[in-house]
Amino acid sequence: MGTPERVANVADGTVLVTSSKKRRICANELTKVATLLGGVQGCRAKTLSCPMAEIAPSSYCAHAVDHPFHGPYHDHEYGFPVRDDRRLFERLCLEMNQAGLSWLTILKKKDGFRRAYDDFDPAIVAAYGEVERARLLADPGVIRNRLKVDAAIHNAAQILEIQEEHGSFADWLDAHQFMKNEVHQRPREKAEWVKLFKKTFRFTGGEITGEFLISTGYLPGAHDPACPVHERIAELDPPWMRAGLQP
């Protein structure tokens, strides 16, 4: 999501290309968005969350127009600061499971993920053994991929260690938001976040890490600056804004 670069493959179907992540959408969804917006060359997006704001028609904000899954996620979750460790762990797992799939697939399975992963309680997930692994790999309500299941269990254990040392996952993220030396500090760049996440967690490449940080308010780019949801998030003073980053 984030600031889009282009819309590709409108006719055959599949890809909304953005600067941070490819969100696959079907042709009729994209056609619906284009129709609502009056064409893809420039217009106003009319949604419950973005009434008549000047929204880039290829942005995620425009794509979420009246969508039963993207709409609520766009309006109430994407880019909002997250402090609860269960919800942070959930977002990390969802982004991780999205790899190779559409974000819509993950949103449709979100309730199934919460049920299957004990509402993403790190202490419970970290203790999963072979019985729980087998259960997850047989559960159609989640993504049945052994590498992703194993990574979720491993990452839960890592979060427990983080909580022991820093108090919470959120506090760990806060503690690593800046790169510091004896003279000054500066906000951690995405590549530096990716290096940290690869060192700490499994299945956290650049796209997964970047989207996790955007979606939880640690990096900018979730919403078009003209979107009213962007204004609502700004009022909450998200970490990226406190760090002095620009949208």
Provide DSSP, the chain: --SEEEE--TTT--EEEESS--EE--HHHHHHHHHHHTSTTS--B--SSSTTB---TTSHHHHTTT-TTHHHHHHHTTT-----HHHHHHHHHHHHHHTTS-HHHHHHTHHHHHHHTGGG-HHHHHT--HHHHHHHHT-TTS---HHHHHHHHHHHHHHHHHHHHHSSHHHHHHHTSEEE-SS-EEEPPHHHHHHHHHHHSSS--HHHHHHHHHHTTSSS-SS-TTSHHHHHHHHT--HHHHTT---
Does 95 qualify as catalytic in the annotation? yes
Task: Describe the strand order of the beta sheet including 4-7 as a list of residue ranges.
Answer: 4-7, 15-18, 23-24
Closest CA to 89 of 62, 123, 133: 123
Active-site entry in 60, 78, 90, 103: 103
Active-site entry in 60, 73, 78, 218: 73
Does 73 qualify as catalytic in the annotation? yes
How far is it, in rounded angstroms, from Cα 103 to Cα 224?
18
How far is CA 14 from its chain centroid? 19
Does 240 qualify as catalytic in the annotation? no
Active-site entry in 78, 95, 128, 193: 95
- Catalytic residue numbers, as ranges: 73, 95, 103
